[in-house]
Structure 1
C-alpha cells in the first residue's frame, strides 16, 4: 500500500493553496500508532482566519481523496495550519512578514557582526528588507539604532515570542509591524495564539 510522500502532497495541493492566496510553507507526513498524519503548512501576508483555513482544508482534503493514482487506501488525518513563531526565516517573504518583531539571529561562521562587540548570535528587531539586506534594530529600549545585515550572512533566524511591548522608537526604526500581522508585545499573546495555531483537521482516505 503506497504511503503519501511530502513531495507528492505538495504537488497535489500547491495550486489550491496559491488559489486561496496562501503560500505553501511546507508539508509534513508522519505515521504513529498506525495513523498517518498529513500536515500542510500555509501562510499569507494577511492574518489567516479560521474560516479561510477551514475552507482551504476542505478543498485540500477533497483533492487528496481523489488522488487514487498517487496513494491507495491510506487512512490519514489532515491538518492545515499556519507556521509557529519558531519557524526559521529563510525566504524574503518571511522577513517582510516579521518586520517589527523581535528575532534571534545567528551569523554564519566567519561573518563579522554588524557592530564591534556584538556576538555572532544576538537579538534584534526586524526592520525593512532592501534587496538582499535586512535592517535590524539593536540596543533594545535603551538605545535603539539601525544596522543592516546581508541575508547571505545569516545562518539562522527565528521570531521570538514577546510579552512586553517595544517602545515607540524601536517600532519607528523598523517601520512598524508588517500589515496584517499580529502586534508585537504583551497584547499580542492572545492574538498570536489564535493566528499561528489556526488549523483545521479532517480525516479521509487516499484511495
Structure 2
C-alpha cells in the first residue's frame, strides 16, 4: 500500500494540529521507491520551537500509526516550519511577517517594502521615498505575489517603528542583540 495522498494526510492532521495550537501550512508527500517522505509544515503566531517540532513529530507519528493508511510502507516523517521563501498568501502570513522586508508584486509594479500592520484585509507597507520612509496602504486582494526577503543588516529604527515593530514571539530581522547575548555567554565560559 503506498503512502496516503496529500489530501488524506491533511484530513488526518488538520484538526489535531489545530487543537495543538498550530496551523497546518502545507503537506508534501514524495514517493521515493520503497521509502517515501511525508513533510508536514506547521506554524503559529509564536513560531515553531525545536522542542515543539520534536513533540509534534511524536503526536503526528501516533496519528499515522493509529490508521491503516500507511500499511507496512516505510516512510520518513519530517515536521518543519515553512521556509522564509514561502509566499505570503493568507492574512496570518502577513501578520506573522510584520516588521520583515518583502518583495511585493502589485498590478504593474514590484515594491520592496517593510511589512507593517494588517487591518481588515489592508496591509501597511513601509517604503523608502527618497531619503524618507512613507507608509503605503495596500489591499491584500491587490497583491499578486509577496515573498519575505532575507536581510543581513539591522533595519532602520524609524522604518521598523513605522511598520509597528515585530510581533511578540517572532525574531526581529537581522537581530544584532542576539549576537551580543552570545558574546556575553562566551566571555563567561571557562576555557
TM-score above 0.5, yes or no: yes
After TM superposition, the structure 1 = structure 2 runs for residues 1-207 of structure 1, keeping only pairs within 5 Å, are: 1-68=1-68, 70-108=69-107, 120-139=109-128, 142-185=131-174, 187=176
Q: Report the number of matched residues.
A: 179
* Deviation at residue 79 of structure 1 after TM alignment: 0.3
* Deviation at residue 3 of structure 1 after TM alignment: 3.0
Contact 2:22 2:42 survives alignment (8 Å)? yes
Change (3 A) 1:188 1:16: farther
> Aligned with 1:47: secondary structure?
coil
Change (3 A) 1:40 1:142: same
Contact 1:100 1:174 survives alignment (8 Å)? yes
* Deviation at residue 48 of structure 1 after TM alignment: 1.5
Q: CA offsets, 1:162-205, max 9 Å, x none?
A: 00111111011011011111111253998xxxxxxxxxxxxxxx
Contact 2:30 2:37 survives alignment (8 Å)? yes
Contact 2:122 2:138 survives alignment (8 Å)? yes
> Aligned with 1:32: secondary structure?
coil
CA distance in 1, matches of 2:123, 2:86: 18
CA distance in 2, matches of 1:135, 1:188: 26
* Deviation at residue 60 of structure 1 after TM alignment: 0.2
Give the aligned CA root-mean-square deviation in angstroms. 1.9
Change (3 A) 1:29 1:189: farther
Q: Which runs of 5 or more structure 1 residues have no equivalent in the other structure? A: 110-119, 191-207
Contact 1:141 1:167 survives alignment (8 Å)? no
Give the TM-score normalised by structure 1: 0.81
Deviation beyond 6 Å, 4+ runs, structure 1:
none
Contact 1:141 1:170 survives alignment (8 Å)? no
* Deviation at residue 33 of structure 1 after TM alignment: 4.7
